[in-house]
Structures are given as C-alpha cells and as structure tokens.
C-alpha cells in the first residue's frame, strides 16, 4: 500500500521505488519526446505490481504539457495532435459509436473537467443518422454527463450502464479529474489508460467502476490531475525538509482534505479545451484543429 496517494501510474511506480529502495517487478516504462512534449508509457503486466501500486493491469500513457503551459508557438495545436495520436493508439478503431462520458460535478471547478471536455466534443451520432451523406466523413460520437449522486440521486455507473445498454457503443471514453502526488503536475499532465476508471476517485469520492468488466465494452479513461491529497503534499514537503512523518497518523488527521492552486479556474478551462480537441481529432479522422474551431465556434 502506497503511503502517498496518486492516480498517475508513473507517479505510483516512483513512490513505490522510493519507499522500497528498488524497482518493482511487473512494470515496464519508457519515455519519448513527441513534438517537444514528454510522453511516458507505463504498462503494468504483473498481478503483484498491480496490487502494490493499486492500479489494474493495463497501459497508462501520460503527456506532460510543458510547451503548452509556456505558451510556446503552436504548442496548443501540437499538443492536441500528440494527444489525439495517444488516444488512437489505445482506442484503436472502434468501428461503431464512441460514447464520451464527462464525469464529475460542473459546479466544483476541480471536478468540472468532464463537463468542460464534453463541451469541446463534436457530437455527431444524431447528425449521421439524420444526414448520413453530409456527415459520412465524421466519426460516430455521442456524449453523456451523468452528473453526481448528490444532485441526481443515481450513481454515475448506473446512468452510464443504462445508456450503454440503450445505444450499444463500441467504445466508452470516460473523462474525469484525477489526484496527483505533486502540485507540479496539477493541470500539467494528461493520463490515458485502457483500464477504465472509478468516478470521483480524483476528488476522494470514489463510486462504481466503469470498465470493460462492468460495461461489456472497451473503456478508455482520460484524466487530468486537478488536486493533491493534503496528507500526500505534507509528506512530500516534510521529506524535502528532512523530516519524517507517520503517514497513517497524518492521513487520519487531515481526513479527506485536498489542495488545488489559486488559478484552478483558468487552468481547468485551458486543459479541458486541449483534451476535448484531442478527442475530436482522434474520433473524427481527417479533421484539423482549425476545423474543430469552426464547428465549435
């Protein structure tokens, strides 16, 4: 069991190595540069590693957005294209409807990523049925925002399961907020995985799992860390100062407190737009960023 909480597989592997002073078996990791962005591919292949890291077996790819955050020329367009390529690599060719699910609570900024990504998603399922010739070159995409239990009275997983039964998608893409170990990664890293997702896990309110096992179709999870667990942040700050704290006692004292930066509003808006455009390019082959601008504008 890791003492510091993170939803990012690359961070979980590093935490385990730091705490055990060795590399964990059953995990493969490689990194590369794509258009000036660092991409890290982590594959959890062993059941013991999955148990130790608290992550299902599968592939986790993270995109670090340094160029985008520094506002370098064409960094948005390049970041969108790299993200689209990553999504295609994990999703393959669905061959049918893709259901994009925006998880979270739009009324709470750190939890509004799913809502904002859906706003930047080109939804075409109804158009392809009404005007098949005009939209023959587009992918078949539907979108859903199931809301949260506190406002709907229904678990997100139940809502998604009902829609999956109704429209029989070939692929589900679930978008949600995540938690990171480090403030340096908040709204600066996008993780894509082929393992599904547990709604609300990023903000400490985990619900029913969305995965191939629960829905009966492949599920790609797309997430961005928007918060850091307070106990995790305190442990890292103390360790940096040469002070050792008792993780369990600290976590009990801090409860479920989470930390997010002051500029979270603009950060979430900007990165959600990049994620939405990346999905659009991945799900609608042949489109460019300028095309998405035109359709969403």
The predicted structure's pLDDT at residue 58:
97
Instruction: Assess contact for 151 and 165: CB atoms under 8 A.
Output: no
Q: Is the pLDDT of residue 4 over 90?
A: no
The predicted structure's pLDDT at residue 203:
52
User: What is the distance in angstroms between the CA of the first residue and the CA of the last residue of the chain?
Assistant: 46
Bridge partners of residue 173, in order along the sequence: 100, 220
Mean local confidence (pLDDT), 262-270 = 96
Confidence of residue 254 (pLDDT cuts 50, 70, 90): low
Q: Is the pLDDT of residue 249 over 90?
A: no
Q: Which comes out higher in pLDDT, residue 258 or 269?
A: 269
Mean pLDDT is lowest, of 2-16, 19-33, 252-266, for 252-266
Mean local confidence (pLDDT), 82-100 = 94
pTM of the model: 0.93
Mean local confidence (pLDDT), 87-92 = 94
The predicted structure's pLDDT at residue 236:
78
Cα 46 vs. chain centroid, distance in angstroms?
A: 22
Q: Residues 146-194: pLDDT tens digits?
A: 999 999 999 999 999 999 999 999 999 999 999 998 899 999 999 999 9
What radius of gyration do the chain's Cα atoms show? 19
Mean local confidence (pLDDT), 6-28 = 94
For CA atoms 165, 169, 171, 175, give the dihedral sign. Answer: negative
Q: Residues 205-248: pLDDT tens digits?
A: 556 899 999 999 999 999 999 999 888 888 777 877 878 777 67
Q: Other C-beta atoms within 10 Å of 138: how many?
A: 19
Instruction: Assess contact for 159 and 145: CB atoms under 8 A.
Output: no
What distance in Å separates the CA atoms of residue 81 and residue 59, rounded to the nearest whole number?
20
Task: Give residue for tokens 């039964």.
Answer: 165
The two structure tokens encoding residue 40:
């890290």
Hey, where are the domains in the chain?
A: 9-296
Mean local confidence (pLDDT), 40-51 = 97
CATH fold of 9-296 reads Rossmann fold (3.40.50)
Residues with Cβ within 8 Å of residue 109, at least 6 apart in sequence? 226, 260, 264, 265, 268
Share of the chain above pLDDT 70, in %: 94
What distance in Å separates the CA atoms of residue 180 and residue 7, rounded to the nearest whole number?
6
What distance in Å separates the CA atoms of residue 104 and residue 203, rounded to the nearest whole number?
9
The predicted structure's pLDDT at residue 255:
62
């Amino acid at each position: 069991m890791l003492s510091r909480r993170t939803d990012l597989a690359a961070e979980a592997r590093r935490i385990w190595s730091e705490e055990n002073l060795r590399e964990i078996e059953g995990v493969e990791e490689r990194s590369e540069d794509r258009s000036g962005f660092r991409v890290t591919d982590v594959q959890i292949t062993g059941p013991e590693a999955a148990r130790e890291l608290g992550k299902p077996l599968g592939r986790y790819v993270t995109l670090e957005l340094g160029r985008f955050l520094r506002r370098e020329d064409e960094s948005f367009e390049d970041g969108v294209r790299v993200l689209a390529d990553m999504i295609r690599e994990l999703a393959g060719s669905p061959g049918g409807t893709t259901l994009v699910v925006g998880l979270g609570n739009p009324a709470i900024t750190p939890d509004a990523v799913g809502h904002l990504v859906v706003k930047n998603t080109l939804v075409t399922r109804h158009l392809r049925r009404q005007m098949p010739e005009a939209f023959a070159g587009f992918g078949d995409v539907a979108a859903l925002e199931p809301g949260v239990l506190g406002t709907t009275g229904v678990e997100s997983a139940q809502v998604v399961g009902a829609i999956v039964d109704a429209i029989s998608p070939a692929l589900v893409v679930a978008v949600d907020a995540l938690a990171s170990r480090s403030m340096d990664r908040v709204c600066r890293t996008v993780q894509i995985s082929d393992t599904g997702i547990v709604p609300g896990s990023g903000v400490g309110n985990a619900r029913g799992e969305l995965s191939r096992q629960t829905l009966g179709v492949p599920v790609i999870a797309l997430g961005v860390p928007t918060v850091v667990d307070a106990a995790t942040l305190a442990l890292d700050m103390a360790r940096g100062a040469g002070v050792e704290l008792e993780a369990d006692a600290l976590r009990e004292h801090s409860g479920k407190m989470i930390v997010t930066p002051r500029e979270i509003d603009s950060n979430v808006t900007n990165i959600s737009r990049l994620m939405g455009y990346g999905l659009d390019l991945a799900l609608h082959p042949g489109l460019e960023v300028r095309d998405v601008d035109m359709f969403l504008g």
